Chains A and B, each alone.
Chain A
Amino acid sequence: MNIFQAVFYSFSTPIFYKLMLMSATPLIFAALGGVFSEVTGVTNIALEGIMKIGAFTAVVFTFYTGNPWLGLLGAIIAGVMLAWLHAYVSIRWSADQIVSATALILIASGLSAFLMEPIFGHSGQTDFVAKIPKVKLAFMKDVPFFGQIFDEMSIFVYLAFIAVALSWFLIYKTPLGLRMRAVGENPKSADTLGVNVFKIRYFGVLMSGVLAAFAGAYLSIGELGQFQENMPSGKGFIALAAMILGNWNPVGAMWAALLFGASDALNIQLQSILDIPPEMKALLNLLPFVITIIVVSGFVGKTRPPAADGVPYEKE
């Protein structure tokens, strides 16, 4: 089978769409996190770090309690704590947000690797723990094609799309969302109108912590059942690209995440279909990253970040 046939064959299989949804799910959560933070004017490139600490904490909490739902709770707590650090220094102390986030990525990967040995007795990866059970839709079973996509799917996949709808509603249809956008576009006039700029920004950044923690927890206790040291492997940054491509809008970010999910799925599919030497197969791994670069540079001219994104606000 040549490469074109393989690509078209991939598109015709239900497994491709299942893989696409699975790959897109962490990207959707993390990209929504980015949207929440940046809509209020705080850049948060630490999504990768929050995902990592979320994925790790989820496993640790599940390991000790035996309950993956408590694992998810642990991930959220850890994610919020890390996001709070970012919020505190960038909102209260006008720190450079890129530098602060870089620091948090390091701290997250240092902490998760450091604590692995004392907790699990070995490094590199944790033990296997209970996973959050998959949803089985009985009525889907006999539906052709779609049945194979949806017959057994992680609840995170559905939650991701619910989160998109809720985020869109919150940001565009509620007074809180209006305030968030006002603070992100023009903090000074929002302040003049009596909006508490700092509080709104804290909300945005902490929400990014919650959502990126969901993304991380999906990777560990949603799919694999363990944490590995290299876990988010760039997904936090691809999520940022999805946020930009989606024009800082939850629905746009979702479509972008689905596109990146599709390139990931294509990579996995091609590796199993194509009859080529193993090192050439490994080369296909760079497909999602190449597509991200092409997409970010091809479309980014048309999108626009919130005007005050990344700019610390200081009261006179």
Chain B
Amino acid sequence: MNILVPVTSVIIALFIAGIVILLIGKNPLSAYWVMLQGAFGSKAALAANISKMMSLVLTGLAVGFGFRAGIFNIGAEGQLMMGAIFSTIVGLNLGGVSPVFAIPITMLAGILGGAFWASIAGYLKATTGAHEVITTIMLNWIAVYLTNYFVAGPLAVGQGVPKSPEIAQSAQLPPLMTVQATTLPSGIIVSIVAAILVYILLEKTTTGYELKAVGFNPYAAEAGAISLSKNIVLTMAISGALAGLAGSMEVMAIHHRIFGDFSGGKGFDGISIALIGQNNPIGIIFAAFLISSLRTGSNAMQFAKVPDDIVTIIQGIIIFLVAADRIVRTFILKFSSPKGGESK
């Protein structure tokens, strides 16, 4: 049943989005076929798909980790950007350093950038009770404007699109392989390792147990001598560290620099991914693959004159159905038992 709900939600969402495509006078089946081709049709498509998936696993983990501890971190978007800014600034200055040091230092900078940004919201929630949904959204906007400032001001280089210079060669992550013009970034390994580490942290350690206890029932946890405020700050910091790592991977493995509109919504996609993956690190890997496939495939759909925003609608419907999982459960029961099912 646990996996059935997201899977059914995806199918229903594709169906409803198909009707929307039909409404603008396009053929949904051929649109979906183009999408499938765009995501899996060639080696280059698959490589693009996986390089998109790299950061999505991390932002999904960031949001999912927060959820497990009862924190709704909508700020992965801003944390990703802060991670990217930190990584870029540090990576720019590591020219003479051996990659053995340059790579981990640059990565760490991104992790700290994201953790720092998220900790602001965590600290405010723990000390003043400011709701993290509002503070993280505000921090997202501030991160957007800060990024714009950095790429137009102190880090600006060249003409055209505001952007920073490339980070030092030694701080760049070498690609796993290059497929035509698309590289398969080695950052994907970092993402998968991060997912496994988060899984171990949550399932096998005392800290993970405490975090989950706080998420499950904060009052009971506090009665059980678990410090709420310490765990709120810690959860936010780890969650932000994961999103920051996503930003640093984008810089180190793909773009090698930061520019305006850097994230492209990967932080917000993290929310969908965490919900579809049901906050389970392994589920999140699959959910990230689903969303990256939809996103990569939808780029191709634009050639078929179907706006790629259809993916956002699909994502929205999936999350809506995941929220209303009881409707989906009832729906599944009706179809799986001949007599028709109950709602609970």
Contact = CB atoms under 8 A, between A and B. Distances in A.
A and B part of one assembly: yes
Interface of A: 45, 85, 89, 93-96, 98-100, 102-111, 113-118, 123, 233-234, 237-238, 240-241, 244, 277-280, 282-283, 285-286, 289-290, 292-293, 296-298, 300-301
Given A100-B324, A123-B307, A297-B128, 9 more contacts: A100-B320, A110-B310, A114-B309, A238-B138, A286-B146, A289-B138, A300-B128, A300-B129, A300-B130
Contacts of A45: 133
Contacts of A289: 138-139, 141-142, 145
B295 to A, nearest CB: 12
B205 to A, nearest CB: 27
Q: Which 6 residue pairs are nearest across A and B when measured between Cβ atoms?
A: A110-B312, A106-B316, A107-B316, A110-B313, A103-B320, A279-B153
B164 interface: no
Interface string B306-319: 01011111111111
A274 to B, nearest CB: 15
Contact of B134 (A105, A292, A298): A292
Contacts of A89: 320, 323-324, 327
The residue in A244, A277, A293 that gathers the most chain B C-beta atoms within 10 A of its C-beta is: A293
Contact of A95 (B124, B145, B315, B323): B323
Contacts of A240: 133-134
Contact of A113 (B272, B307, B315, B326): B307
Contacts of B149: 279-280, 282-283
A300 B131 contact: yes
Interface in B84-132: 124, 127-131
Contacts of B130: 293, 296-297, 300
Interface in B130-186: 130-131, 133-135, 137-139, 141-142, 145-146, 148-149, 152-153, 156
Contacts, number: 151
A52 B78 CA distance: 21
A296 B307 contact: no
Contact of B148 (A95, A107, A282, A293): A282
Main SS class of interface, B: helix
Contacts of A96: 323
A178 B135 CA distance: 32
Nearest to A118: B24
Contacts of A277: 153
A8 B60 CA distance: 46
B312 A109 contact: yes
A110 B315 contact: yes
B24 A115 contact: yes
B307 A114 contact: yes
Contact of B142 (A233, A278, A286, A298): A286
A104 B72 CA distance: 16
A111 B128 contact: no
B323 A99 contact: yes
B146 A106 contact: no
B264 interface: no
B322 A106 contact: no
Main SS class of interface, A: helix
A117 B25 CA distance: 12
Nearest to B67: A99
B220 interface: no
B210 to A, nearest CB: 23
Contacts of A104: 316, 320
Interface of B: 20, 24-25, 72, 74, 124, 127-131, 133-135, 137-139, 141-142, 145-146, 148-149, 152-153, 156, 268, 271-272, 275, 307, 309-320, 322-327
A300 B125 CA distance: 10
Given A113-B312, A298-B128, A93 B133 contact: no
Contacts of A283: 145-146, 149, 153
A233 B124 CA distance: 23
Contacts of B141: 233-234, 286, 289
Contacts of B156: 279
Contacts of B324: 89, 93, 95, 100
A138 B300 CA distance: 56
A26 to B, nearest CB: 16
A94 B326 contact: yes
A100 B138 contact: no
Contacts of B326: 93-95
A244 to B, nearest CB: 7
Contacts of A116: 307
Contacts of A301: 128-129
A234 B272 contact: no
Given A111-B313, A114-B307, A286-B146, A103 B323 contact: yes
Contacts of A298: 128
B231 to A, nearest CB: 19
A196 to B, nearest CB: 20
B124 A293 contact: yes
A216 B315 CA distance: 23
A237 B137 contact: yes
Contacts of A110: 309-316
The residue in A94, A298, A300 that gathers the most chain B C-beta atoms within 10 A of its C-beta is: A300
B309 A113 contact: yes
Contacts of A103: 316-320, 322-323
Nearest to B315: A106
A296 B124 CA distance: 9
B129 A99 contact: no
B135 A297 contact: yes
